[in-house]
Structure 1
Amino acid sequence: MTSGSLPHLFARLAALERRIRAAVAVRRGSDPNPDDPFRGLYLSDEAIDALLASRREPYVPFQASAASGRLGRLAETARLSGLDVELLLVALAPDVDSRFEQFYGYLNDDVTRRRATAGLALRLCGLPEASATGRARLDPSSPLRSAGLLVVDDRERPFLSRSLRVPDRVVNHLLGDDLADAALAGVAKVVDEVTAADVGNLVRAFRAQVRLAYLRERPGGGAREVAAAALGHAGFAVLEVDAARLRAEDVSTVAVLREAVLRGAGVVLGPVEEEPPLAALTHPSVPLVVFGPNVWDPRWSPDPPLLHDAAPLPVADRADLWRLKLDGRLAPGVDPAAATAHFVLGPGQITRAARAASVSALVDGGVVTTEHLRAGARSQNAAGLQRLARRIEPAVGWDDLVLPTGVVGLLHELAARARRRDQVIDQWRMRPGGGRGRGVTGLFAGDSGTGKTMSAEVIASSLGLDMYTVNLATVVDKYVGETEKNLERIFTEASGVNGVLLFDEADAIFGKRSEVRDAHDRYANIESAYLLQRMETFDGIAVLATNLRANLDEAFTRRLDVVVDFPLPDEPLRRLLWDRCLGETAPRTEVDLDFLAGAFELAGGHIRSAAVTAAYLAAENGGPVGMAEVVGAVAREYRKLGRLVGEREFGRYLGLAADGAAR
């Protein structure tokens, strides 16, 4: 606050006090009993006669003078006239100098009315009570009231006897207090720092008096940060407003607009998906930037906005922003662009992710590694998807996979597509037009237990992402159209999450379209057609896993980036699987791995299940894992699969299988 602001404000109030002194003198001159100690509590006959004998005249008019300091800046921003400023000062006086309460009580002829009434304020400004010009300055649409600078109370009273009040936030602002209105806590915040961005067109628009803009947010576009940067570079302070909380908490939009006017700020409102309160936030001095994921609806405002797409930051800009926010704390040789290239993050998310990475690194000596970067990036995932899918933090890597070389190669290809899509799709523009998304999708097909789910987890781990397994119970619904709605919610939430989305048993919802014989077939085909279209526009990473590839609709094949067939493991792979699953930490005696691999044709999942069962048997017996426990566990696995436990497979260990079954 400038040093001249308060002296100027007090000088203006002193001028108001001189006019009040003159008004008091006039009042005393017409009072038949000026020394009556109960004046203002009752009306005597003489007072009524005096009222009848005189006319209500204005007091000495004010002398117009230029406002300075905060009062002057507020008058300029709120488009206040000289009369508006004087009316504001009249209403403000009791909040700055308590003597004015007594002054107004006397002039109102009612000691209980200690604020200026509309009629008294007009007369103190030298206007008749019936002045249309003066009364219009107190209308709800006037600059004072529409910006929330002045409140007219006592609506049940006649207009001239309604009290005028200045909100505490306005009083505090004029006295030098910059704290935001407490009513806006959690709904609106002042942005002190804006992220550098290429927003030249928007800046020029705001400087050219454009007062309404709509930013359509693309995944990773950071529309909020783009809007704040544009307003900041155009010379405005920035007030960010959460549209959902503004609606849910029923906060007055007048309070939001008042805060913006007091600060000379632009308002950033969003994200919006339904009609926002634009009319209540419209002001000629306040640029309003609305953002959301959908296209602008012309019904929201009669005034067309400036339309702008908030596109994702280029890879180089993202890398520069990571380095700027990490401020030299990166470990040697760590490239933030390479480590997080497959993460879709906006500028604000990168800023918060960098802080999270720095905090995590404090435990490890303060140096930020690739793991810290990816953990920070994952911390920006929205929680909405966890209500629709099960979140899994990957705990396996490439070395844990026991699969044929060709299958592993296809899995590496799928991971590479996720890492390189910025370069191929955005920079090289290898997928132009058609409204296609930037998604990466793969199909994992094979018998149960062949490693489909584990492979999806490995891909998520290699990319530093979480995995989300879609629960079909939350998707499939017997009512027409509900399954599509559930899937849409999943895809929408997934677009804001950096993760791998796994549809297990995908044939249940991605099944073939069939010939229409009844209404059920028609609606089933509609469901499949919707999925075909939605997969085309998906921007994330999705894996479809199925035991029945033949049941999937052929139209999905074109939309899949990689199709991986998982075969049953051959004997060398089964031997390696038995060795891996029995592990190195559990105690074990001589286990005939060659026999287990050659005799039992089991998938990896069944081998793992048998190994765990064998470990439980050994723990219960108080000894190491041996052939007796392993063969007994295999016998149990055979029975679960509906297979016969016979000499052909178990050979010389058939007795151990029988003993294990008896336990």
Structure 2
Amino acid sequence: MNTGGLPHLFTRLAALERRIRDAVAARRGTDHNPDDPFRGLYLSDEAIDALLATRREPFVPFQESPAAGRLGRLADTAGLTGLDVELLLVALAPDVDSRFEQFYGYLNDDVTRRRATAGLALRLCGLPEASAAGRARLDPSSPLPAAGLLVVEDRERPFLSRSLRVPDRVVNHLLGDDRPDAALTGVARVVDEVPAADVGPLVRAFQAGIRLVHLRERPGGGARETAAAALRRAGFAVLGVDADRLRAEPDRGGAVLREAVLRGAGLVLGPVEDEPPLTDLTHPAVPLVVFGPGVWDPRWSTEPPLPHEAGPLPVAERARVWRTRLDGRLAPGVDPAAATAHFVLGPGQIARAARAASVSALVDGGVVTTEHLRAGARSQNAAGLQRLARRVEPAVGWDDLVLPDQVVGLLRELASRARHRDRVIDEWRMRPGGGRGRGVTGLFAGDSGTGKTMSAEVIAASLGLDLYTVNLATVVDKYVGETEKNLERIFTEAAGVNGVLLFDEADAIFGKRSEVRDAHDRYANIESAYLLQRVETFDGIAVLATNLRANLDEAFTRRLDVVVDFPLPDPVLRRRLWDRCLGASAPRGEVDLDFLAASFELAGGHIRSAAVTAAYLAAESGRPVGMAEVVGAVAREYRKLGRLVGEREFGRYLGLAAEGVGR
């Protein structure tokens, strides 16, 4: 608690007490019945006569002097005149010294009115009660009431008999108490020093007197942190305000503004997408920064804001923030910036991710590894996308893929693009203009079961990201325009999530445009055109998977970074798939892998399904997985695919196939 400036405050109150003594003496000089024990409870005939016989004169005026300490700083911040300061002291006195309650009750000639009234306050300041200039200092738009430093109560009474009250938070502040107002809980909080990118232009704007700024936040931009850093460097404290909570409880806006004035703080309000709750937050001394992902609507305020954009931190700055927050707890050789280069995180998110990584590392010896860093970064994902897509935590890696080398190379290229896009797109500016996004998009085309979904999961795992599979049932809508709205919600949510977005069966929504013959064709073409534009402006990582590449619109090809065709496996790959799918944990008997690979032309997904079925058959019979179980499982898979179980494929094992199907 900082009590600096209290001697000056008490000195000013002592001077006020001396003027009150003079006022009391003057009051006694005209008192015709000083010994009346019921004074203030009624008006006698003599008292009325005395009022009619005398004029209402001001008391001895105060000697204006500059305020010091907290009172002086508050006067400078709120733009208070000497008269404002004296009115504040008159109203404040009963909250600091209880004797003033009796003084004011006596001077009000009403023992129940123990606070200064507007008329008494003006007279104690040496002003007539009819002084227009003095009365104006208590108007709602004047500095004291506008900043919430003084409350004029009893609005139903005549102006001069309205009581003046100083809120407890103002009293406590002047007495040296820095605890924030309890009314701010959940709505506003004091923001500590935070790292941010270059904030020089904003600092100069605040120093030049600009008091309204709109920050448009790009993914990973950290608009809140950018605004806070700029305000601090411009000499202001910072209060962060939750726009949604304030919109729900607008009556707390006055307390927020008062706290900002007391602390000499700027306000950082957001995130906002619709009209921000600006009521009670504007003041000439309080910079206000409104941030959000959208643009400013001129209808929101008569005062135009300074527009600014909060972009992502440079790579070097991100590395500095990570290392500062982890403070020597990193495992040897771990570079946090490189390990999380493909994550889109603002400075505040990095700080929280570093704390999450440190907590996770405590159960593993306390040393933060790459896995801990990526888990901490994933913990910053918002939950909104999970309502629109299914979240999958990857459990496979590159070694689990059984694909041709050329296909694996293209998959690694897609992962590499995601890993290095900061350098190529932001630093080297290889995609300038046109409103293009920073996204990485790939097309996986091939028959069912050839490994498209698993490959997307492997890419997500290699990047330390989650996989989000879009449920087409939540996207496609029979009503015109609804499908686009659903997709927009998905793309918007995905932009703020560090994950890989998978559109399975993508041809259902990314189909070809056709010749317009009726209204249905027109709207279908509008839908496809919208998707073409939206994919190009997407900032995340997206994979489109399809069994029918020919059904996709050719215009998508230019907008795709990598196109991967997944072929059906040849006998060599099929043998590896059978060996991999049968696994090392399940008990395995004699299994002719060469026969299985050469005879059965199955995709990897079907081989995996057959291997699982064989394991169930073996578990039921209590035997290791052998040819009888595997061939019986393949026969079942053939039936699901609508194929005939014949001697040409099954050869000498045809009897086992018939036996397996009959079980």
Interval of TM-score (by shorter of Structure 1 and Structure 2): over 0.9
CA displacement, residues 500-549 of structure 1 (integer Å, 9 cap, x when unaligned): 00011111111111111221111111111111111111111000011111
1:593 aligns with 2:593: yes
CA displacement, residues 625-645 of structure 1 (integer Å, 9 cap, x when unaligned): 222222222222222222223
Residue pair 2:197, 2:314 contacting (<8 A) in 1 also: no
1:82 Cα offset (Å): 0.8
Q: What does 1:244-259 correspond to in 2, within 5 Å? A: 244-259=244-259
Q: Give the match for residue 551 of structure 1.
A: 551
Partner Cα separation in structure 2 for residue 431 and residue 4 of structure 1: 56
1:96 Cα offset (Å): 1.3
Residue pair 2:495, 2:539 contacting (<8 A) in 1 also: yes
Partner Cα separation in structure 2 for residue 389 and residue 140 of structure 1: 51
Q: Give the match for residue 330 of structure 1.
A: 330
Q: Supply the AA of the counterpart residue of 1:567.
A: P
1:196 Cα offset (Å): 5.3
1:251 Cα offset (Å): 4.8
Q: Give the match for residue 579 of structure 1.
A: 579
Q: What does 1:89-238 correspond to in 2, within 5 Å? A: 89-195=89-195, 197-238=197-238
1:283 Cα offset (Å): 1.9
CA displacement, residues 23-47 of structure 1 (integer Å, 9 cap, x when unaligned): 2233333343332222222223333
1:110 Cα offset (Å): 2.5
1:461 Cα offset (Å): 0.5
- 3-state SS of paired residue (2:280): helix
Stretch moving more, 323-332 or 176-185: 323-332
Residue pair 1:329, 1:368 contacting (<8 A) in 2 also: yes
Q: Give the match for residue 321 of structure 1.
A: 321
Residue pair 1:279, 1:301 contacting (<8 A) in 2 also: no
Q: Give the match for residue 391 of structure 1.
A: 391
CA displacement, residues 565-597 of structure 1 (integer Å, 9 cap, x when unaligned): 111111111111111111111112112222222
Partner Cα separation in structure 1 for residue 273 and residue 81 of structure 2: 38
Q: Give the match for residue 528 of structure 2.
A: 528
Q: Give the match for residue 62 of structure 1.
A: 62
Q: What's the TM-score once normalised by structure 1's chain length?
A: 0.97
Q: Give the match for residue 261 of structure 1.
A: 261
Partner Cα separation in structure 1 for residue 576 and residue 232 of structure 2: 61
CA displacement, residues 113-169 of structure 1 (integer Å, 9 cap, x when unaligned): 222221221122121221111111111110001111111122222222222111111
1:68 Cα offset (Å): 1.0
- 3-state SS of paired residue (1:76): helix
- 3-state SS of paired residue (1:572): helix
Q: What does 1:151-550 correspond to in 2, within 5 Å? A: 151-195=151-195, 197-278=197-278, 280-550=280-550
Partner Cα separation in structure 2 for residue 648 and residue 288 of structure 1: 79
Residue pair 2:389, 2:471 contacting (<8 A) in 1 also: yes
1:4 Cα offset (Å): 4.9
1:2 Cα offset (Å): 6.1
Give the gaps of 5 or more residues in structure 2: none
Q: What's the TM-score once normalised by structure 2's chain length?
A: 0.97
Partner Cα separation in structure 2 for residue 136 and residue 92 of structure 1: 19
- 3-state SS of paired residue (1:391): strand
Partner Cα separation in structure 2 for residue 38 and residue 656 of structure 1: 114
- 3-state SS of paired residue (2:355): helix
Q: Give the match for residue 628 of structure 1.
A: 628
1:613 aligns with 2:613: yes
Partner Cα separation in structure 1 for residue 475 and residue 155 of structure 2: 53
1:279 Cα offset (Å): 5.7
Tell me the percent identity: 87
CA displacement, residues 251-277 of structure 1 (integer Å, 9 cap, x when unaligned): 522211111111111212222222224
Partner Cα separation in structure 2 for residue 68 and residue 428 of structure 1: 54
1:402 Cα offset (Å): 0.7
Pick closer, same or farther for the CA change 1:636–1:88 going to 2, 3 Å. Answer: same
- 3-state SS of paired residue (1:245): helix
Pick closer, same or farther for the CA change 1:4–1:570 going to 2, 3 Å. Answer: closer
Partner Cα separation in structure 1 for residue 357 and residue 183 of structure 2: 33
Q: Supply the AA of the counterpart residue of 2:597.
A: A
Pick closer, same or farther for the CA change 1:42–1:662 going to 2, 3 Å. Answer: farther
Residue pair 1:2, 1:69 contacting (<8 A) in 2 also: no
Residue pair 1:340, 1:374 contacting (<8 A) in 2 also: yes
Stretch moving more, 439-448 or 646-655: 646-655
Residue pair 2:196, 2:347 contacting (<8 A) in 1 also: no
Give the gaps of 5 or more residues in structure 1: none
1:44 aligns with 2:48: no
Partner Cα separation in structure 2 for residue 414 and residue 239 of structure 1: 42
Stretch moving more, 221-230 or 52-61: 52-61
1:341 Cα offset (Å): 1.4
- 3-state SS of paired residue (2:469): strand
